[in-house]
Structures are given as C-alpha cells and as structure tokens.
Amino acid sequence: MTTPPPAPAGAALARGYYDDDVAPVLDGAGVVHAAGRLGSGSDVLGFDDDTSRDHDWGLRLTVLVDDAAVPEVDALLERRLPSSWRGHPVRFATTWDPQVRHRVEVTSVRALAVARLGVDPTDGLEPWQWLALTGQSVLEVCAGPVFHDGPGELTALRERLARYPDDVRRYVVASAWAHLGQELPFVGRTGSRGDELGSAVLAGRLARVAMHLGHVLEGRWAPYAKWLGTSFAALPSASAAGPHLREALAATSWRGREAALARAFDVLLGVQAAAGLPVPDGAPDGGATVPFFDRPFRGVAPVPEAVRASITDPAVLALPAGVGGVEQWVDDVHVLMDPARRLAVARAALSGTTPGQA
C-alpha cells in the first residue's frame, strides 16, 4: 500500500488558495487589500497536525479592506469563489457558525485588532491596556503569515504589537519574579509536612509562571495553555530551563522538586541578564534563589525589586507592584477569551477599582 503524502500545513494551504483563487478575484475587481492566515486556529501558529484537521481546519484566511468595503467584498467572494480548490471544499460549516459558506474572513485592520485584543491599538495603548492583552490575542493578529499587504497598515500594526513597551515589559518581568517568590517556599513547606501532592501542584504552578516569563524575557508573546510548552521549547535561550522544569514536575520528593526549580530559575535569570535587564547585585552568579529566612527552604532573590527599580515611566510606576498582566494571574478561559471581561478585570486590578466602577 502506498502511503499518502502528508497533508500541507494549514498556512501553506491558505497561501496556495489565496494565490490561485482569492487574489485573482480581488485584483480583478481592483480591491486594495491585505491578506494572511490570521485569527484563531493552530495553523496560525504553525502548530497544526493531523489532529488539527478534525474541525475548523481548511481553506481559511483573512482579507483586510476598508470598513465600508467589507460587505461588498464578502459578497464578491461568495459569488466568485469556486466550490473547491485542489480537492478541499471552499464552503463549510464551523463550530461557531453552522452555515455552509466560504471561510475567507473579510474585515478591516482596525476591526480585526479590536475583535482579538478588545482595544484599538492604532493610536497607541496605555500601560494598563497592554497588560489586559493575552499573548494568544496578540498572536492571532501578529503570528500568522501575511500573503499581501498593499496598504501597509497591517504590517505597521504588527510591528507596533510585536512586543511590550520596555517599561511595561520590565513591570511584567518584575511581577513574574514576585509570583515565583510568593510560592516557591511553599514547595518545601508542604512537602516537609508530607503533602507531596500539594508540593507538586505548587511546582506545576511555578513552572507555568517560569515558562511565561521565558517568553517575555526573549521578547515573545506566549500562546495559550495548549501550545505554551511547544512554544517554550522553541525559545532560543529560555528553553534551556525546560529540562529542569520537567525534572521538578517528575520529582517524587520536595527536596528534588525545589532544587530543580531553583536550577530552572537560575537559567531564566541568566537569560534576563543577557537581555540587558537588571539582576540583583551578585547575580546571576549568585543564583536566582536564596535561603528563605531561617527555614530550610528556598525563596527568590530580590529580583523583583531590582527590575522594578529600573522603571522610569510614571504611568508604569503608578501600577500596583507585583500584579502584572492579566494572564499572569487569571487562568479562567471564560475571562481570558472574552476581551470585555478581560479588560474589566485588568482595569479593576491595576487601578484599584472594582469592575463595576471601571
């Protein structure tokens, strides 16, 4: 039996479909546009595989035009696109829309950004608005391949969103170390009482914080939980902490767990120093962890204080120390995936108001 060739990655499929069918329709009608594989879907991140193809996978891409032209261009594509392309159906239902129709999303650059981010970034963002973003929401605008950008507006937006502003980044880094410091001593404290399960749960929480921190240190946006480990493993420097994190999660005693976490944090502190971000005096050679007072456990060195002291933007300095970006302290999918909820809780936490007052 002949083994069939592997199916193309979703982004490559979208590119061929755009070149062969979508672009000729748009160019023939004189539609000024940008196009790419943007939005949701594992193929936007380049992580799709055979399992990805069981739902919402196929001839999907985004076309960006002026707001006023959206209905007309969408109708044009509905009329002119064929029924299939290279054996793949052009029109199909999705989990969010049972209607069988073409899946070229037609929108504007601004509308795409607002739908994914919850805020309009075209005129700049305030620090608290940056902190209300999730890495996944930004990646849905910035990660996928761009096939064409006639106006250049999409490219400019992606450059603007490529990374946090410097002082916001420092605030996020300081907050991550503060979060690590809050719970690292508990890995030993719980284990010393015979609660190895509780100690392991804490180690898992700390590993997640560390993986997110690794992305920020390398100027990358972290995807949501399904792809966090895959993305972390591809980081050029921070990924060196991965074996230590795996060792911590596999450990059967709190001492081994704590020691492995400390080694992972040392790696991240070295990445931080290499990135030109502050580290405490004596670090990274002195390590990222220190004795936790007179108890036989480890705590985090004064890394949060060193980083926060380097912030100069008054608006960032006015933010509450240690809170961080919304995805650093919220893990409820119903909040993180809903821009309105995400903005409400972030504004409340970062301004000291309640969501009803924000």
Predicted local distance difference test score (pLDDT) of residue 357: 39
At residue 354, does pLDDT exceed 80?
Answer: no
89 lies in some domain: yes
Positive or negative, the Cα torsion across 181, 186, 187, 192?
A: positive
% of the chain with per-residue pLDDT over 70? 95
Mean pLDDT of 269-286: 88
Q: Identify the three-state secondary structure at position 9.
A: coil
DSSP letters along 21-41, please?
IIHHHHHHTT---EEES-SSS
Q: In terms of domains, do 55 and 137 share one?
A: yes
Q: In terms of domains, do 92 and 189 share one?
A: no
347 lies in some domain: no
Burial of 249 (0-12, 13-18, 19+ CB in 10 A): middle
Domain final residue pick, 160, 189, 223: 160
4 lies in some domain: no
204 lies in some domain: yes
Q: At what angle do helices 166-192 and 196-217 cross, to 10 degrees?
A: 160
Q: In terms of domains, do 137 and 181 share one?
A: no
Print the domain residue range for 172: 166-324
At residue 238, does pLDDT exceed 80?
Answer: yes
pTM score, whole prediction: 0.93
Q: In terms of domains, do 170 and 277 share one?
A: yes
Q: In terms of domains, do 205 and 113 share one?
A: no
284 lies in some domain: yes
User: What is the number of residues in the chain?
Assistant: 358
User: Which tokens in the block code for residue 333?
Assistant: 């999918």
* Whole-number average pLDDT of the chain: 93
Domain final residue pick, 136, 160, 184: 160
Domain final residue pick, 128, 160, 192: 160
Predicted local distance difference test score (pLDDT) of residue 281: 85
Is the separation of the CB atoms in 328 and 172 below 8 Å? yes
Predicted local distance difference test score (pLDDT) of residue 284: 65
- CB hemisphere CA count around 30 (13 angstroms): 0
3-state helix, strand, coil in the chain (%, to 5): 55, 10, 35
Q: In terms of domains, do 179 and 262 share one?
A: yes
User: For the chain, first and last CA: distance in Å?
Assistant: 64
E-strand spans in the chain?
34-36, 61-64, 84-85, 88-89, 91-94, 97-102, 104-107, 146-149, 289-291, 298-300
Q: In terms of domains, do 148 and 259 share one?
A: no
Please write the tens of the pLDDT for every residue from 28-65: 999 999 999 999 999 999 998 888 888 888 899 999 99
Q: In terms of domains, do 152 and 194 share one?
A: no
138 lies in some domain: yes
Eight-state DSSP code of residue 89: E
Please write the tens of the pLDDT for every residue from 74-96: 999 999 999 999 999 999 999 99
Q: In terms of domains, do 114 and 211 share one?
A: no
Q: In terms of domains, do 146 and 176 share one?
A: no
Q: Identify the three-state secondary structure at position 307.
A: helix
- The tally of domains found in the chain comes to 2
Tell me the Ramachandran region of residue 332: left when phi exceeds 0, alpha when psi lies from -120 to 50, beta otherwise.
beta
Cα(12)–Cα(145) distance, integer angstroms: 9
Is the separation of the CB atoms in 67 and 111 below 8 Å? yes
Q: In terms of domains, do 142 and 171 share one?
A: no
Is the separation of the CB atoms in 107 and 154 below 8 Å? no
72 lies in some domain: yes
Q: In terms of domains, do 227 and 279 share one?
A: yes
- CB hemisphere CA count around 154 (13 angstroms): 29
Is the separation of the CB atoms in 117 and 336 below 8 Å? no
193 lies in some domain: yes
